Amino acid sequence: MTNDAISAAIPPRRSADDRGAEALTVSRVRPAYQQVADQLLALILDGSLAAGDRLPSETELSSIFGVSRSTVREALRALASRDLVETARGTTGGTFVRRVEQEQVSDYLETSLGLMSGSDDITVTQMLEAREILEVPAARRAAERRQDHHLEAMREAVDREKLTRGRGMRFQEHRNFHGIILQSSQNPLLEIMTEPVFRVLQTKFLNPDVEPRVWRSVDDDHETILEAIAAQDADAAAEAMHDHLTRLRETYLDHDVSRRQS
């Protein structure tokens, strides 16, 4: 290697102050309780600590982490505030890893999406797009995996839709039908991700003055989707769901435009 090459490979010399300042910005030191909480969270996420497992006592944790009991207590509070652990009293008590419920995750997502949509971090167009990405494949899976009790529940939902009057109840029946399709897909993750999107769209963005012809179109679409799922025609079910959601787009988008202009 030539002298020029060696010189190019060696970075220019910096002052001690420059090097010290750079080192300080590489990794910011977090509060001790947060570091303890982060390590416990990592153990929960990688499965080392499973739902129902009891954590060591505060005294044991303070010894393991080399921190005070008050620091451990604050770390456990941080985890409890995220519904990751819970404390039970008594001789068989202690701090346990919580079992996360599907509705708990769904409710959290709904609240978060509602707040983000309210501050324009997420647009109604993006939410409608996400809904299509999730629900069209869900209809396909429902056609492949549905059971008789799913079909019965869908038929009952469609029948109730046709008999129901009034804004609130029509929305509720519409949601019920789509919820049953998600259940029929037999993929709980699809339910967890899709339900919050649907609820926020329904609550915040769907035009409150939907014309009767729109509801008649919804009823017809649901009948078509149901027939495809009953026939176990996955392609037809996916296409029918896509067409249905596409037709509904204008209802949401028109309302969103008027809301932002008011």
In a structure prediction context, what are the per-residue pLDDT tens digits for the chain, which is 262 residues long?
Answer: 333 433 343 344 455 555 545 555 555 678 999 999 999 999 999 999 999 999 999 999 999 999 999 999 999 999 999 889 999 888 788 999 998 888 888 888 888 888 888 777 888 889 899 999 999 999 999 999 999 999 999 999 999 888 876 555 666 778 889 999 999 999 999 989 998 988 888 777 776 677 778 888 889 999 999 999 999 999 999 999 999 999 888 777 655 444 555 4
Query: Distance (Å, rounded) from C-alpha 57 to C-alpha 40?
Result: 13
DSSP annotation of 96? E
Query: Distance (Å, rounded) from C-alpha 259 to C-alpha 209?
Result: 13
Query: Distance (Å, rounded) from C-alpha 78 to C-alpha 89?
Result: 19
Q: Which residue has the tokens 């707040």?
A: 115
Confidence at residue 25, expressed as pLDDT on a 0 to 100 scale: 53
CA separation, residue 234 to residues 142, 147, 248 (Å): 8, 14, 21
- The pLDDT tens digits of the residues spanning 82-109 come to 889 999 888 788 999 998 888 888 888 8
- The residues near 109 (Cβ < 8 Å, ≥ 6 apart) are 192, 193, 196
Confidence at residue 185, expressed as pLDDT on a 0 to 100 scale: 96
Confidence at residue 8, expressed as pLDDT on a 0 to 100 scale: 41
What would the two tokens of residue 94 be? 């202690």
What would the two tokens of residue 120 be? 């324009």
Confidence at residue 168, expressed as pLDDT on a 0 to 100 scale: 57
Alpha helices in the chain (DSSP H): 3-9, 16-24, 32-45, 58-65, 69-81, 102-118, 124-145, 148-163, 167-184, 188-200, 212-230, 234-261
Model-wide pTM > 0.75: no
